[in-house]
Amino acid sequence: MDTSTFEKKTDINGRMHVSLKHDSAHKHVTGAAEYIDDIPEAAGTLHGALGLSTCPHGEILSIDLDAVKAAPGVVWVFTGRDVPGVNDISPGGRHDEPLLAVTDVQFHGQPIFAVIAETRDAARRAARLAKIEYRPLPHWSDIDGALANEAPLVTEPMTLLRGDPQAEIAKPPHRLKGQMRIGGQEHFYLEGHIAMAIPGEDDEVTVWSSTQHPSEVQHMVGHILGVPANAVTVQTRRMGGGFGGKETQGNQFAALAAIAAKKLKRAVKFRPDRDEDMVMTGKRHDFLIDYDVAYDERGRIHAVDATFAARCGFSSDLSGPVTDRALFHADSSYFYPHVRLTSKPLKTHTVSNTAFRGFGGPQGMLGAERIIEEIAYAVGRDPLDIRKLNFYGQPGSGRDLTPYHQQVQDNIIGRVVEELEQSSDYQARRQAIIEFNRTSRFLRKGIALTPVKFGISFTLTAYNQAGALVHVYSDGSIHLNHGGTEMGQGLNTKVAQVVADCFQVDVDRVKITATTTAKVPNTSATAASSGTDLNGMAAYDAARQIKERLIDFAARCYNVPKEEVEFLPNRVRAGNEIVPFETLVWRAYYDRVQLSAAGFYKTPKIHWDRKAGRGHPFYYFAYGASCTEVTIDTLTGEYLIDRTDILHDVGKSLNPAIDIGQVEGAFVQGMGWLTTEELWWDDKGRLRTHAPSTYKIPLASDRPKIFNVKLAEWSQNAEATIARSKAVGEPPFMLAISVLEALSMAVASVADYRFCPRLDAPATPERVLMAVERLKGLA
């Protein structure tokens, strides 16, 4: 063997902390990356479509499916009564979400029956032929309607309390009250929901599901079919985007496909049309925030009392943890000496809202930033000054305790904001903008610099665990599997880097394989930004076990102390002996060393007592800041985003290119949420923005004209996470708040910055114009 090349190599390809391309990039660009709808269909594959409610709330009086059954190509039509197990897909086990509505419907678009046909087209056409009679009941689609009707809560509310906020607020003289409305958001993953089921022997079934949570799909399918989890295998190679929209929402399609596959003994695929997907699946929660704040003459906050009412839809889904996380982030980066925060998860007759990147955190933070704005305009100062005045202090400063009684121990927000303020030239640009606004009659500019502090960990402690499976084959190739799912975020690439780094082999030696419940059981959703933290550690644990066995073996084999065994790039040194990695592996195999290991990880230090509102729910915080400049037209409310500068903290980045991609993508997605993405229900409870023709996510031409994104390269996680990195999925979403605030400043200029514009989200051109008109009225 020629060992000359590998012996010289001083570094492996794809170690940790380098910008490695996405493992599927070459397949993405050629169209070879396989999504579920691309998998060759088994002979005789059938296709499903759903019959949806045309009534927002009502009792089902009769269902006539004769015409559906008689339609060409139809093989089977089924309703909730045909569910073999339990007709329920509520993820929290509250039994408040039927797979198919049987007795009553609770939103326009709720599934009532399923059609299985020879082609997808035939199924879709047949689904429209049902005759269903309803007895309409009172309905409301939004928070105002819910409050007016004293709607029930879909789940237990939460209160966070520290100090005596009411007493502080009652003290004169600086107090303000206000209200903010924040719209929801459609995920608009480019690949819509899809599931394909193939029946197996006995009670077995295999389901390919576009899901962030294969274990939950497995349990849900078992529950629906009335079979144990060991009969169900769920596979996910990749999703065409998830963003939280595939945390629980894929359950229904997987369950439907599995029911039909078992019944008909044929492969069955369910792929809703984009419009149906948007109507039938949950979205980000809208919020209505009422705030009551006491502060001093400089603008420092004394007390905050706020209520967070949320549009949850008809069932609980994840609304409990989502509204909880809104409260956990209602402090943004600010210390509230006295505080009370209360959630109100309201029932509405709309699709049940669900997880979406940030998971309530963005809405909570936006409320805090509105409070800062209110105070800034009230005391006549730059909102950035008020932000700095209210930042958390360092541990021991007496200003380090969150409303949930966790001490902020890793606070770097001051440094992040200061560096961005310098690099973006904030102060000079703000002065120039104020000058511009003085002389420009209709076009106005605004600038804002806003911070991000986001808590990392699932607030349900049990979810903070992960498993992985690593095999080293006798030829030295490595098979990697873990419980996380790939939805574009580069999780598989990062985890492969961890394993490659551990063994000191080139990353292309590590094969990443589809997530399957058969290899790693009882996994958590790939959510809460935790994918790499959890699965990277679990994979590392598995690799480390094998590595230790190899070290033991090498020490024995070459008769050296263990300390004399060293993993060099693609080779191993044992004393004076250097052998290629695969040589050592082959010898270890021959010596009957186990070369496979299951890894496991659980996040340390965290605990949470929800009833008491106290604990340490987050392992650490991720930080960031952004500065945005905009121009608005006060005649029409149209605007352009001129420039955004971002400095974001990902600790010691495992893969800077992938992390920057997450930051840029999250910012633009957040910008969409706060600007042009508007969900609109009509008075009949119908969602009218149910396709990209009516629901407008950002385009290439919407992103900031100048877009400078940097990672805080000096940052390292204070906690012992995988290679001291930090989570990156959700935190940068909230960097987009600077866009809304910059628009707000531009609006404020029409009344000489004397009033807080109270610009609500999404700030569509219409909302900007209406805020301008309102302020003109005040001026």
Catalytic residue numbers read 730
665 binds other proteins (CB under 8 A): yes
Q: What per-residue string of b and e applies to 303-320 under the rule 16 or more CB within 10 Å gives b?
A: bbbbbbbbbbbbbbbbbb
Member of 3, 7, 11, 21 binding other proteins (CB under 8 A): 21
Residue in this structure with the two tokens 């399918």, named with its chain if needed: 221
Q: How far is CA 592 from the centre of its chain?
A: 44
Member of 24, 218, 363, 715 binding other proteins (CB under 8 A): 24
669 binds other proteins (CB under 8 A): yes
Which CB, 35 or 600, lies closer to other proteins?
Answer: 35
Member of 55, 260, 551, 668 binding other proteins (CB under 8 A): 668
Q: Could you tell me which stretch among 129-137, 430-438, 576-584, 680-688 binds other proteins (CB under 8 A)?
A: 680-688
Shortest separation between residue 483's beta carbon and other proteins, angstroms: 19
Eight-state DSSP code of residue 286: P
Sequence-distant (6+) residues with CB within 8 A of 345 are 153, 154, 155, 157, 310, 312, 316, 319, 320, 323
Shortest separation between residue 266's beta carbon and other proteins, angstroms: 17
Residue type, 189: Y
Burial-class residue 415 by CB neighbours within 10 Å (0-12, 13-18, 19+): middle
Q: d(Cα 300, Cα 295) in Å, to the nearest integer?
A: 5
Q: d(Cα 161, Cα 539) in Å, to the nearest integer?
A: 39
Shortest separation between residue 396's beta carbon and other proteins, angstroms: 39
35 binds other proteins (CB under 8 A): yes
Shortest separation between residue 557's beta carbon and other proteins, angstroms: 40
Q: Which residues in the 629-658 window bind other proteins by CB under 8 A?
A: 631, 633, 635-640, 657-658
Nearest by Cα to 777 from 740, 751, 753, 742: 751
Which stretch of DSSP H or E encloses residue 370? helix 361-379
Shortest separation between residue 461's beta carbon and other proteins, angstroms: 30
560 binds other proteins (CB under 8 A): no
Residue in this structure with the two tokens 């956990």, named with its chain if needed: 328
696 binds other proteins (CB under 8 A): yes
* Three-class SS state of 391: strand
> Can you name the residues that pair with 449 across neighbouring β-strands?
627
Shortest separation between residue 709's beta carbon and other proteins, angstroms: 8
Eight-state DSSP code of residue 686: -
> Strands (DSSP E) along 473-550, which ranges?
478-482, 510-512, 515-516
Q: Could you tell me which stretch among 131-139, 239-247, 291-299, 359-367 binds other proteins (CB under 8 A)?
A: 239-247
Q: Could you tell me which stretch among 83-91, 456-464, 605-613, 678-686 binds other proteins (CB under 8 A)?
A: 678-686
Antiparallel, parallel or unpaired: β 478-482 and 510-512: parallel
Which CB, 240 or 361, lies closer to other proteins?
Answer: 240
Member of 423, 583, 676, 716 binding other proteins (CB under 8 A): 676
118 binds other proteins (CB under 8 A): no
Q: Could you tell me which stretch among 15-23, 294-302, 391-399, 532-540 binds other proteins (CB under 8 A)?
A: 15-23
Phi, psi for 436 (deg, rounded to 5): -55, -45
Q: Which residues in the 154-193 window bind other proteins by CB under 8 A?
A: 187-192
54 binds other proteins (CB under 8 A): no
Which CB, 35 or 586, lies closer to other proteins?
Answer: 35
766 binds other proteins (CB under 8 A): yes
* Cβ atoms of 539 and 599 closer than 8 Å: yes
Member of 2, 40, 202, 777 binding other proteins (CB under 8 A): 40
698 binds other proteins (CB under 8 A): yes
Q: Which residues in the 571-630 window bind other proteins by CB under 8 A?
A: none
211 binds other proteins (CB under 8 A): no
Shortest separation between residue 679's beta carbon and other proteins, angstroms: 9
- Kindly write out the interface string for residues 120-139 of this chain, putting x where it contacts other proteins by CB under 8 A and - elsewhere: ----xx--x-----------
Q: d(Cα 553, Cα 567) in Å, to the nearest integer?
A: 13
The dihedral through the CA atoms of 199, 203, 208, 209 has a sign that is positive
Q: Which residues in the 708-737 window bind other proteins by CB under 8 A?
A: 709
Q: Could you tell me which stretch among 224-232, 252-260, 620-628, 688-696 binds other proteins (CB under 8 A)?
A: 688-696
N-term to C-term CA, the chain: 84
Shortest separation between residue 779's beta carbon and other proteins, angstroms: 17
776 binds other proteins (CB under 8 A): no
Shortest separation between residue 76's beta carbon and other proteins, angstroms: 21
Member of 7, 27, 265, 609 binding other proteins (CB under 8 A): 27
- Kindly write out the interface string for residues 475-494 of this chain, putting x where it contacts other proteins by CB under 8 A and - elsewhere: ------------xxxx----
Which CB, 562 or 705, lies closer to other proteins?
Answer: 705
HEC secondary structure over 307-334 = EEEEECCCCCCCHHHHHHHHHHCCCCCE
29 binds other proteins (CB under 8 A): yes
Is the omega angle on the peptide bond into residue 173 within 30 degrees of 0, that is, cis?
Answer: yes
From residue 716, give the alpha-carbon distance in Å to each of 60, 364, 401, 451, 719.
58, 26, 22, 18, 9
Angle at 503 between CA 497 and CA 506, to 5 degrees: 55
> Strands (DSSP E) along 611-766, which ranges?
614-616, 620-633, 639-648, 706-711
Which CB, 6 or 707, lies closer to other proteins?
Answer: 707
From residue 677, give the alpha-carbon distance in Å to each of 144, 168, 326, 385.
20, 38, 20, 30
Residue in this structure with the two tokens 């606070």, named with its chain if needed: 411
Q: Which residues in the 327-366 window bind other proteins by CB under 8 A?
A: none
* Cβ atoms of 747 and 771 closer than 8 Å: yes
92 binds other proteins (CB under 8 A): no
Q: Which residues in the 246-305 window bind other proteins by CB under 8 A?
A: 273-275
Q: Could you tell me which stretch among 390-398, 454-462, 553-561, 682-690 binds other proteins (CB under 8 A)?
A: 682-690
Shortest separation between residue 660's beta carbon and other proteins, angstroms: 8
684 binds other proteins (CB under 8 A): no
Q: d(Cα 602, Cα 146) in Å, to the nearest integer?
A: 40
Q: Which residues in the 383-442 window bind other proteins by CB under 8 A?
A: 441-442
Antiparallel, parallel or unpaired: β 232-236 and 205-209: parallel
Cα within 13 Å of Cα(658), Cβ side: 32
User: Residue count at the site for other proteins (CB under 8 A)?
Assistant: 88
Member of 3, 32, 177, 422 binding other proteins (CB under 8 A): 32
Member of 147, 176, 578, 691 binding other proteins (CB under 8 A): 691
Shortest separation between residue 94's beta carbon and other proteins, angstroms: 30
Q: Could you tell me which stretch among 154-162, 397-405, 420-428, 704-712 binds other proteins (CB under 8 A)?
A: 704-712
Shortest separation between residue 114's beta carbon and other proteins, angstroms: 18
693 binds other proteins (CB under 8 A): yes
Member of 11, 28, 394, 435 binding other proteins (CB under 8 A): 28
Which CB, 409 or 694, lies closer to other proteins?
Answer: 694
689 binds other proteins (CB under 8 A): yes
From residue 481, give the alpha-carbon distance in Å to each of 24, 323, 516, 540, 543.
16, 33, 8, 11, 11
208 binds other proteins (CB under 8 A): no
Shortest separation between residue 53's beta carbon and other proteins, angstroms: 19
Residue 176: how many CB atoms within 10 A of its CB?
Answer: 16
The token pair at 471 is: 């095999």
Burial-class residue 640 by CB neighbours within 10 Å (0-12, 13-18, 19+): middle
From residue 408, give the alpha-carbon distance in Å to each of 292, 312, 516.
24, 30, 37
